[in-house]
């Protein structure tokens, strides 16, 4: 048996005796073959070990060292050779690396089927420890034996990285298991091994610090944190990652982290009795809370969902931090309402100070008081139109990361059936990012079975990377009812009475507790022999009525007002509404508390709540409709002076219930504005639909109110690309305009209807609507609507191919808004500049286009309009690309990409990735260009936008074309043409496709495609595309002639380009082509002179490919002149190395190798 150890310094043993293998190549050959599971071809071995030899010499050398290796082995039969392959006999060798691979291949699929937070079964745990011990602490193939060639060394490095990755996965699972078992010393052992492999691994460092804290080793935590920070500053000149920085406070200031939570369970049971029943659910609940994760709890009202969650929380082995996020029935239109309530109650001022300002600032829109804790943090300005939803979602996640630094979280979202859309968006975002685990804690959602929320249903039907365990509460059975009776009354219940209680009250714990309390009170007061001697109430309503009847008039009035106000009541406002204040008000509140009808909310001085929502609902049934409307009106009139805009939906609800539809209408619009600022589109639409519903209940709305509703609503549905909804709301808008005989409303409705044509790409239909709108809008003299109409007209003309005609309308907007100060008009002006930038650039005037784009960028930035800024950056990048200013174009694109990521603006993200890629290709940054091109293709395919896919294909095609792989370039250009359809991007690919075919020898077909692209781009006035196509045409003419035709076409091109670009890029390109003609004509001196200025310019601005091709021509001319071209050759080598260095991560090694060979041999 031949034993080979590849971990550590590689060694081989035969019959337990070490083998002495003299030659380094023989040792490397043995160890390489030992790592393979299959025989290897001789050609592959020769190329890997001796890449600089020709094949014949390499194979001969392989035979020689193979012979020497056989001689060094104790048995030459260990090596199996066939005519074309070489390998080791698997039956007669034992290799530690192969054992490691076999065991990981068996174990990891089993682990992947387990939950990430689950403990490991004993057999799997043992296997995993064997794998880690097999590897121990030694690297793979250490030493320099495998540095025999660069290729072999690279193979060794790749395999070593694979082993390290597998080991880190194994160590992570082992440490998770030990923490679940609370064996913290072993968890630290495994994490320490992981850090020996990867010292700066963020996850391992975060976990070992938390484990130090959990195992009461604060000194080790402080030492590790301090040394790690010093290492990061020394090696990277950077601060620690945010996940580790978040642990600084609990490590160095544990007194802050251990401060008692502000959260306490707000809904108490009617009486303090031990939890009864649901033992099976409690067991599952506890398992989830131990390992971390997410849990959904269903049950009818009063079933005890909150009590079950509290019981599980209180039974935890180690305390977690409680975060309560209660949903309220009248807050379904308030974005993030439960999150706001939770953050306000649970986050301490010192924690807000530690939150990064990048995340604290957007949260001031939800919680303005954050600015009070951060003197240097200014809240968002009122004119800021919107906050990207993704920014808010991530900001809340960052807060949770901060709060979970010291200990895991127990986040309880109660009454999720009333959750607003934004709240559920945050839940989905956390589940997508697998936030809840052993170290972050648990999420618990509770929802009524009988109350449906389609958004919650949709969330639960979605498959997330983090699974949600679902539990459904059952009614209490007869035995559990009897147990509850014993606990409350202290006397065993007769079997028949327990059975009747279970049947009549459906085993509902809330109803049972309320009924048993009546029994107890009656039993004590009457001095009866048994508490069961009294008749059973017919319903929970009867139980409540008995309590309410015993109240004073003042307490009853206050209770009715509280029930109408909502689940949580600002008691001082209820007192103000009813006039029950002063001493009388205090007595009334105390009376309600004594009757267990209202309870103070912990940590809130003036906030009270009903013990259960079912109690409030029962109380509402006893209030007459007339009194309820009156109370709603009084509540609204009181709240209007105290509520911020964030609570507009609450105010609108009360005005609507009071029948005050005009005030309700304005409040719903205000609620829509606030929701839109948060990018909470669901709540925005909901608010506007509420407002629209009121139109059927009253006819007294003004033109201004109708205009506000529908113009704001149109902006939202257009961004949603919802053509059906655009048509629906604008037909309603149009009908209202005709009823009111309002030119403004009719014109605005017709103008907005054109957006349906835009959404469907039916631009001619859209143009018909804006033309119908012109007379009405201009008669209205509403400047904002006029400029909006002019911009829409221009865009539709531009989409129909009339670029110059479209510019007339954009110019009108610019003229009308020249002195504008109003924000809406300034944004209309910014939009006109943006559209002018696009059309000027496409018409072949990129300098003018870039100037308009810069002005658009300035205006959008001043008005904090992120979408507008991204659009401006995209046009700047395109204009710079056409002017040859690739570095500036790339920088603008990267700025736009960063902004697009923050707001999830996929469409602009797709375009701007294309423009980044186009600039990077010309700079020679092929790896970055490949990534941006592929990203654009992915976005285009996912969102169904062929023009984005087509432009991404052009980026990839340009890469292949520069590397002279014209076959693959043609494939990408053809794909780009097909996917772009009728969009002008198809023409961009078409002329490149024609040129790629020509370079493959398909001259006639290639020139036909090129000619078609030239004709169509000229007809459409797309001169930016036409000029690039002309360059391909000139390149072909320069190569095949006739030269007279070349010079005629070049003269026209030179004239046009000098007028439009006013730069030397076009002239330099022509000079390079002329130099090629001169060289072919034997005019070497002229060729050298023609290239001097272009080469200097190319080098200054980083045009790698043009410089490389120009240098090659100049070197050939100098060589023909018998002069020294060494300076040119040296620079060419530098450029080739630059291209090679910037190739990764594009999978283009073969193409680059082939390009080097072709370039140097031509």
Task: Give residue-wise pLDDT tens across range 1110-1131.
Answer: 999 999 999 899 999 999 999 9
**Residue 365: DSSP 8-state:** T
Q: pLDDT band at residue 212, thresholds of 50, 70 and 90?
A: confident
| pLDDT for the residue 711 | 94
Residue 951 has pLDDT above 80, yes or no: yes
362-392, pLDDT tens digit by residue? 898 899 889 888 888 876 665 555 677 888 8
306-327, pLDDT tens digit by residue? 888 888 887 776 678 999 999 9
Name the phi and psi angles at 1066, rounded to 5. -65, -40
| Residue carrying the six token digits 């990521």 | 901
**Residue 442: DSSP 8-state:** E
- Please tell me the class of the 549-623 domain: mainly alpha
Task: Give me 281's structure tokens.
Answer: 């659910």
| pLDDT for the residue 521 | 66
Task: Give me 896's structure tokens.
Answer: 């736009």
Q: Is 1082 exposed, middle or buried (0-12, 13-18, 19+ CB in 10 A)?
A: exposed
Mean pLDDT, range 688-716, rounded to an integer: 94
Nearest in space to 681 (alpha carbons), one of 642, 720, 653: 720
Nearest in space to 733 (alpha carbons), one of 751, 706, 766: 706
Q: Going by C-beta distance under 8 Å and a sequence separation of 6 or more, which residues neighbour residue 689?
A: none
Task: Give me 774's structure tokens.
Answer: 């012109």
**Rg, C-alpha atoms of the chain:** 38
Q: Which residue has the higher pLDDT, 1085 or 278?
A: 1085
Residue 504 has pLDDT above 50, yes or no: yes
| pLDDT for the residue 1062 | 65
Mean pLDDT, range 155-182, rounded to an integer: 84
H helices present in 904-1021, as ranges: 906-923, 926-943, 946-962, 966-980, 985-999, 1003-1019
pTM score > 0.75 for this model? no
What are the DSSP calls for 462-528, one per residue? S--SS-EEEEE-----HHHHHHHHHHHHSSPPPHHHHHHHHHHTTT-HHHHHHHHHHHHHHHHHHT-
Residue 116 has pLDDT above 80, yes or no: no
507-542, pLDDT tens digit by residue? 888 888 877 777 766 654 555 545 555 555 555 567
Mean pLDDT, range 1009-1033, rounded to an integer: 91
Task: Give me 43's structure tokens.
Answer: 């050609």
| Residue carrying the six token digits 């002069």 | 1123
Domain boundaries, the chain: 1-116+124-171, 279-472, 478-527, 549-623, 647-813
Residue 125 CB neighbour total at 10 angstroms: 16
- Please tell me the class of the 647-813 domain: mainly alpha
Mean pLDDT, range 31-58, rounded to an integer: 88
Q: pLDDT band at residue 270, thresholds of 50, 70 and 90?
A: very low
Cα 50 from Cα 29, distance rounded (Å): 12
| pLDDT for the residue 254 | 66
| pLDDT for the residue 113 | 64
| pLDDT for the residue 528 | 52
454-483, pLDDT tens digit by residue? 888 888 777 788 888 889 988 898 888 888
Cα 29 from Cα 45, distance rounded (Å): 8
| pLDDT for the residue 271 | 46
Cα 1089 from Cα 1083, distance rounded (Å): 10
**Residue 145: DSSP 8-state:** G
Asked, colleague to colleague, whether 279-472 and 647-813 share their fold, the answer is: no
| pLDDT for the residue 778 | 94
Mean pLDDT, range 144-155, rounded to an integer: 78
Domain 1-116+124-171 fold is: Arc Repressor Mutant, subunit A (1.10.10)
Residue 255 has pLDDT above 60, yes or no: no
646-698, pLDDT tens digit by residue? 889 999 999 999 999 999 999 999 999 999 888 788 899 999 999 999 999 99
Mean pLDDT, range 689-711, rounded to an integer: 94
Q: pLDDT band at residue 258, thresholds of 50, 70 and 90?
A: very low
% of the chain surpassing 70 pLDDT: 92
| pLDDT for the residue 819 | 94
CA–chain centroid gap for 518, Å, is 54
Q: Which residues pair with 600 in a beta bridge?
A: 608
| pLDDT for the residue 269 | 41
| Residue carrying the six token digits 């999830």 | 904
| pLDDT for the residue 527 | 53
54-63, pLDDT tens digit by residue? 888 888 888 8
Cα 1158 from Cα 1162, distance rounded (Å): 6
H helices present in 579-624, as ranges: 582-594, 613-620
**What H or E segment, with its residue span, contains residue 232?**
helix 218-236
Q: In this structure, are residues 921 and 956 in contact, taking their beta carbons and an 8 Å threshold? A: no
Task: Give me 133's structure tokens.
Answer: 């011990």
| pLDDT for the residue 266 | 56
Q: Which residue has the higher pLDDT, 581 or 977?
A: 977
Cα 393 from Cα 423, distance rounded (Å): 9
**Residue 451: DSSP 8-state:** S
Count CA within 13 A, CB hemisphere, residue 81.
Answer: 12
Q: Which residue has the higher pLDDT, 827 or 490?
A: 827
Cα 525 from Cα 733, distance rounded (Å): 66
849-879, pLDDT tens digit by residue? 999 999 999 999 998 888 889 999 999 999 9
Residue 163 has pLDDT above 80, yes or no: yes
Cα 120 from Cα 127, distance rounded (Å): 10
Q: What is the mean pLDDT of the chain?
A: 86
CATH code, 279-472? 3.40.50
| Residue carrying the six token digits 């539709």 | 796
| pLDDT for the residue 248 | 83
Name the phi and psi angles at 300, rounded to 5. -70, 165
Pairing of strands 17-18, 11-14: antiparallel
Which range in 63-72, 110-119, 701-710 is most confidently predicted, on average pLDDT?
701-710
Task: Give me 719's structure tokens.
Answer: 């961004």
Cα 477 from Cα 503, distance rounded (Å): 9
716-774, pLDDT tens digit by residue? 888 777 889 999 999 999 999 999 999 999 999 999 999 998 888 788 999 999 999 99
Cα 1058 from Cα 1040, distance rounded (Å): 26
Q: CA of 766: how far to CAs of 102, 750, 772, 811, in Å? A: 64, 9, 10, 20
Name the phi and psi angles at 296, rounded to 5. -115, 125
Q: Which residues pair with 599 in a beta bridge?
A: 609
Cα 474 from Cα 468, distance rounded (Å): 19
């Amino acid at each position: 048996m031949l034993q080979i150890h590849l971990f550590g310094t590689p060694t081989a043993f035969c019959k337990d005796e070490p083998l002495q293998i003299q030659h380094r190549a023989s040792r490397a050959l043995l160890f390489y073959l030992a790592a393979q599971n299959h025989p290897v071809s001789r050609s592959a071995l020769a190329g890997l070990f001796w890449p600089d030899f020709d094949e014949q010499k390499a194979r001969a050398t392989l035979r020689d060292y193979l012979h020497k290796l056989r001689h060094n082995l104790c048995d030459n039969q260990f090596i199996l050779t066939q005519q074309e392959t070489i390998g080791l006999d698997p039956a007669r060798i034992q290799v530690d690396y192969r054992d490691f691979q076999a065991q990981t291949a068996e174990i990891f699929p089993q682990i992947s089927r387990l939950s990430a937070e689950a403990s490991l079964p004993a057999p799997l745990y043992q296997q995993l420890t064997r794998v880690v011990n097999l590897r121990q602490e030694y690297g793979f193939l250490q030493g320099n034996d495998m540095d025999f060639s660069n290729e072999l060394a690279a193979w060794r490095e790749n395999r070593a990285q694979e082993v390290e990755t597998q080991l880190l996965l194994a160590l992570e699972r082992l440490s998770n298991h030990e923490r679940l078992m609370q064996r913290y010393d072993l968890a630290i052992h495994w994490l320490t091994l992981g850090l020996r492999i990867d010292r700066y691994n963020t996850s391992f460092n975060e976990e070992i610090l938390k484990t130090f804290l959990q195992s009461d080793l604060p000194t080790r935590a402080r030492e590790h944190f301090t040394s790690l920070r010093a290492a990061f500053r020394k090696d990277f000149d950077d601060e620690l990652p945010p996940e580790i920085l978040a642990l600084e406070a609990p490590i160095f200031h544990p007194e802050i982290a251990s401060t008692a939570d502000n959260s306490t369970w707000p809904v108490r049971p009617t009486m303090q009795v031990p939890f009864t029943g649901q033992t099976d659910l409690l067991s599952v609940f506890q398992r989830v809370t131990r390992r971390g994760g997410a849990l959904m709890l269903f049950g009818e009202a009063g079933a005890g969902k909150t009590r079950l969650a509290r019981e599980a929380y209180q039974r935890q082995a180690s305390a977690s931090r409680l975060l309560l996020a209660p949903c309220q029935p009248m807050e379904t239109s308030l974005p993030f309402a439960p999150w706001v309530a939770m953050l306000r109650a649970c986050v301490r001022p010192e924690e807000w100070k530690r939150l990064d300002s990048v995340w604290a600032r957007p949260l001031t829109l939800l919680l303005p008081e954050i600015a009070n804790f951060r003197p240097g943090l200014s809240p968002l300005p009122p004119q800021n139109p919107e906050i990207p939803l993704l920014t808010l979602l991530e900001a809340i996640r960052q807060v949770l990361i901060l709060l979970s630094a010291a200990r895991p979280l127990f986040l309880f979202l109660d009454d999720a059936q009333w959750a607003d859309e934004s709240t559920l968006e945050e839940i989905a975002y956390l589940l997508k990012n697998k936030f809840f685990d052993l170290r972050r804690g648990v999420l618990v959602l509770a929802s009524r079975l009988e109350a449906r929320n389609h958004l919650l249903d949709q969330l639960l039907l979605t498959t997330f990377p983090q699974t949600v365990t679902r539990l459904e509460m059952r009614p209490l059975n007869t035995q559990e009812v009897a147990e509850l009776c014993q606990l409350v009354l202290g006397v065993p219940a007769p079997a028949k009475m327990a059975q009747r209680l279970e049947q009549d009250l459906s085993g509902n714990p809330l109803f049972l507790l309320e009924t048993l309390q009546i029994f107890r009170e009656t039993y004590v007061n009457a001095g009866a022999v048994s508490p069961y001697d009294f008749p059973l109430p017919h319903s929970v309503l009867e139980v409540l009525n008995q309590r309410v009847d015993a109240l004073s008039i003042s307490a009853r009035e206050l209770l009715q007002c509280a029930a109408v106000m909502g689940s949580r009541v600002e008691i001082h406002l209820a007192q103000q509404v009813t006039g029950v204040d002063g001493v009388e008000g205090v007595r009334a509140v105390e009376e309600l508390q004594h009757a267990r009808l209202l309870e103070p909310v912990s940590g809130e001085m003036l906030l009270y709540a009903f013990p259960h929502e079912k109690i409030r609902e029962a109380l509402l049934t006893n209030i007459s409709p007339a009194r309820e409307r009156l109370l709603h009106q009084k509540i609204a009139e009181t709240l209007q002076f105290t509520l911020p805009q964030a609570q507009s939906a609450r105010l609108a609800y009360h005005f609507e219930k009071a029948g005050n539809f005009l005030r309700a209408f304005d409040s719903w619009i205000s609620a829509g504005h606030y929701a839109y600022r948060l990018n909470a589109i669901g709540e925005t639409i909901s608010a506007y639909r509420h407002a629209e519903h009121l139109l059927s209940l009253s006819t007294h709305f003004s033109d201004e109110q109708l205009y506000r509703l529908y113009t704001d609503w149109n902006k939202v549905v257009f961004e949603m690309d919802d053509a059906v909804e655009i048509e629906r709301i604008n037909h309603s808008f149009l009908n209202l305009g005709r009823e009111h005989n309002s030119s403004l409303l009719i014109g605005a409705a017709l103008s907005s209807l054109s957006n349906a044509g835009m959404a469907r790409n039916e631009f001619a239909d859209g143009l018909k609507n804006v033309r119908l709108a012109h007379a009405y809008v201009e008669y209205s003299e509403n400047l904002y609507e006029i400029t909006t109409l002019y911009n829409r007209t221009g865009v539709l003309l531009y989409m129909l191919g009339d670029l110059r005609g479209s510019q007339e309308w954009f110019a009108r907007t610019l003229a009308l808004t020249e002195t504008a100060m109003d924000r809406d008009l300034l944004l209309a002006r910014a939009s006109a500049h943006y559209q002018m930038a696009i059309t000027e650039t496409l018409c072949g005037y990129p300098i003018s286009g870039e100037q308009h784009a810069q002005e658009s960028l300035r205006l959008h930035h001043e008005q904090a309009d992120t979408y507008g800024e991204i659009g401006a950056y995209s046009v700047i990048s395109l204009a710079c690309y056409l002017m040859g200013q690739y570095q500036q174009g790339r920088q603008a694109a990267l700025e736009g990409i960063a902004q697009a990521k923050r707001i999830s603006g996929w469409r602009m993200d797709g375009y701007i990735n294309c423009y980044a890629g186009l600039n990077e290709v010309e700079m020679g940054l092929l790896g970055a260009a490949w990534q941006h091109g592929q990203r654009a293709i992915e976005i285009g395919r996912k969102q169904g936008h062929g023009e984005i896919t087509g432009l991404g294909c052009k980026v990839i095609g340009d890469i292949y074309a520069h590397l002279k792989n014209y076959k693959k370039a043609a494939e990408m250009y053809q794909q780009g043409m097909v996917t772009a359809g009728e969009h002008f991007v198809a023409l961009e690919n078409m002329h490149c496709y024609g040129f790629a075919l020509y370079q493959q020898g398909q001259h006639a077909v290639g020139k036909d495609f090129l000619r078609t692209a030239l004709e169509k781009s000229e007809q459409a006035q797309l001169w930016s595309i036409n000029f690039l196509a002309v360059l391909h045409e000139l390149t072909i003419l320069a190569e095949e002639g006739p030269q007279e035709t070349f010079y005629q076409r070049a003269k026209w091109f030179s004239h046009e380009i000098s007028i439009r670009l006013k730069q030397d890029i076009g002239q330099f390109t022509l000079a390079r082509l002329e130099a090629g003609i001169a060289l072919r004509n034997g005019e070497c001196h002229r060729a050298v002179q023609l290239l001097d200025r272009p080469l200097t310019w190319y080098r200054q601005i980083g045009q790698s490919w043009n410089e490389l091709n120009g240098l090659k021509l100049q070197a050939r001319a100098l060589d023909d002149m018998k002069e020294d071209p060494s300076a040119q050759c040296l620079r060419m080598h530098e450029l080739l190395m630059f291209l090679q260095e910037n190739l990764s991560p594009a999978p283009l090694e073969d193409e680059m190798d082939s390009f080097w060979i072709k370039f140097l041999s031509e």
